[in-house]
Amino acid sequence: MKMIGSRWLKIIGLAALTVIVIIGSFTLWRLLDRDPEVSAADIVPTSELVARGEYLARAADCVACHNAPGGKPFAGGMPFKLPFGTIYSTNITSDRETGIGTWSDDDFVRALHRGVAKDGTHLYPAFPYTSYSWISRNDAVAIKAYIFSLPAVHSAPPPDSLSFPFNQRWTMAFWNLAFLDEHRFRDTPGFSREENRGAYLATALGHCGECHTPRNIAFAMDNRRQFAGTMVEGWHAYNITPDEASGVGGWSNQQLADYLQTGHGGGRGSAAGPMAEAVANSLQYLTSTDVAALVSYLRKVRPLSSEPANPVDASVINGAFADQPGAQQQSNALGERVFAGNCAGCHLWNGQGRQSYYAALVGGRTVSDPDGTNVVQVLLDGADLRTVHPGVVMPSFGKSFSDAELAAVSNYVISRFGGQTGRVTSERLRQDRSHKH
């Protein structure tokens, strides 16, 4: 018995030693497999550097997180509601007490590349340093020069309210060790100059994957499914790979470029929710050359299939005139009544849209999704692209109609303009409403 016990102790000890060696080797590899940070004296800003930084800050969509509703530019305070609590974006103005006015260029670059603040505090990856790690030092310094050229705002964001152990910021060091790629962007061999520029814009500055790439169990991007689509704040951030059925493989270059720059792709639908914000705050300011580069890169991404992958079938509305419903192919009297009284005036019975093509429904992935994820969100929140095109706004209907009415009109729209059988229920509307409070 003693010999057997001694043998098992040796086996357990050997197994433990093996695990320690593996963990140690992985840790050493991760610590060595990174680009070194170059320390340098602060650069004296010039008007050219500030102007370049303004463009880059827009390309990086900094205002999306650091501008709270009703707040001042870059003063922070935007809440991010997570499954384990709420965090608030930081003040990144040059205020020396509540902002980052005491930060050097090195401090700012370290925050972008490693997710570590000036005082050594680890930042949470709601700040997309996992993508910004790829930004070049020169571009990071230019962004800082622009932000510091703006008026300082003395404003302290509310304290974070996270449950244990997520409120222990030091644990992010281990998360970073496992998931943070601490390399700067590198051109992909075989890509053209335009395609590599698009890759830099999409993966580093524009951090598209933060919304369009699914997350793993540790909330890190699963880059094996890069750009395959996922859920963001209740919205479906769609698949933007070149997959023909569920991605943008069937879109023309012009449709994709128009969608990115204006929020509408002819025959493909209009942006709403977080994507509309990205267009309004960032994408509309990109040069046509950079938009073309983004399109070129998206054509090179590995195509991946995902849900929803339903083709749009508009044959059901061929008999409809703009101001007449035409022959009905569905029995949804409540949905038809709500649509007739509140939607047809702008969207028309044929789904082509009145006065503005932004109101077109035909061809959009939103109306071809049987779950109606984004249809429901638009009905509850409305849509606003007035910063891109004056007059493009859809009001919220959340307070005007019951759950049953909104579910019915959602299913009506999905059937009429997407050719699918909608699965939206009153219970689903109730749940979505509750998440907004």
Q: What is the pLDDT of residues 209-256, one digit of tens each?
A: 999 999 999 889 999 999 999 999 899 999 999 999 899 999 999 999
Question: What does the pLDDT look like over 138-149, one tens digit per residue?
Answer: 999 999 999 999
Q: What is the per-residue pLDDT for 36?
A: 79
Q: Is the pLDDT of residue 18 over 70?
A: no
Q: Is the pLDDT of residue 329 over 60?
A: no
Q: How far apart are CA 105 and CA 377, in angstroms?
A: 41
**pLDDT band (50, 70, 90) for residue 159:** very high
Q: What is the per-residue pLDDT for 302?
A: 96
Do the beta carbons of residue 317 and residue 412 sit within 8 Å? no
Secondary structure (3-state) at 115: coil
- Sign of the torsion formed by the C-alpha atoms of 151, 156, 158 and 160: positive
The DSSP result for 344-384, as a single string, is: HHHH-TTSS-SS-GGG--TT-SGGG-TT-HHHHHHHHH-EE
Q: What is the per-residue pLDDT for 353?
A: 87
- E-strand spans in 242-350? 264-265, 269-270
Q: Is the pLDDT of residue 31 over 80?
A: no
Q: Give residues with Cβ within 8 angstroms of 9, minimum separation 6.
A: none
Q: What is the per-residue pLDDT for 14?
A: 64
Q: In the predicted model, what is the mean pLDDT of residues 262-276?
A: 92
Buried b (16+ CB within 10 A) or exposed e, 375-408: bbbbbbbebbbeebbeebebeebbeebebebbbb
Query: Which of 188-202, 279-293, 374-388 shows the lowest mean pLDDT across its residues?
Result: 374-388
Q: What is the per-residue pLDDT for 355?
A: 78
| Among 234, 279, 298, residue whose Cα is nearest residue 61 | 279
Q: What is the per-residue pLDDT for 48?
A: 97
Q: In 10 A of CB 322, how many CB atoms?
A: 13
**pLDDT band (50, 70, 90) for residue 103:** very high
Q: How far apart are CA 255 and CA 266, in angstroms?
A: 6
Q: Is the pLDDT of residue 10 over 80?
A: no
Query: Which of 96-100, 329-333, 369-373, 388-392 shows the lowest mean pLDDT across its residues?
Result: 329-333
Both structure tokens of 428: 């689903």
Q: What is the per-residue pLDDT for 391?
A: 78
Buried b (16+ CB within 10 A) or exposed e, 77-89: bbeeeeeeeebbb
Q: How far apart are CA 275 and CA 270, in angstroms?
A: 9
Do the beta carbons of residue 364 and residue 351 sit within 8 Å? no
**pLDDT band (50, 70, 90) for residue 319:** low
Query: Which of 27-31, 98-102, 276-280, 295-299 shows the lowest mean pLDDT across its residues?
Result: 27-31
**pLDDT band (50, 70, 90) for residue 199:** very high
| Among 381, 405, 401, residue whose Cα is nearest residue 393 | 381
Both structure tokens of 279: 């267009």
Question: What does the pLDDT look like over 345-400, one tens digit per residue?
Answer: 999 998 888 878 889 998 788 998 999 999 999 999 999 888 888 878 899 998 99
Secondary structure (3-state) at 283: helix
Do the beta carbons of residue 132 and residue 123 sit within 8 Å? no
**Percentage of residues in the chain with pLDDT exceeding 90?**
68
Which has the higher per-residue pLDDT, 434 or 299? 299
Q: In the predicted model, what is the mean pLDDT of residues 309-314?
A: 60
Q: What is the per-residue pLDDT for 134?
A: 97
Q: What is the per-residue pLDDT for 389?
A: 83
Q: How far apart are CA 148 and CA 142, in angstroms?
A: 10
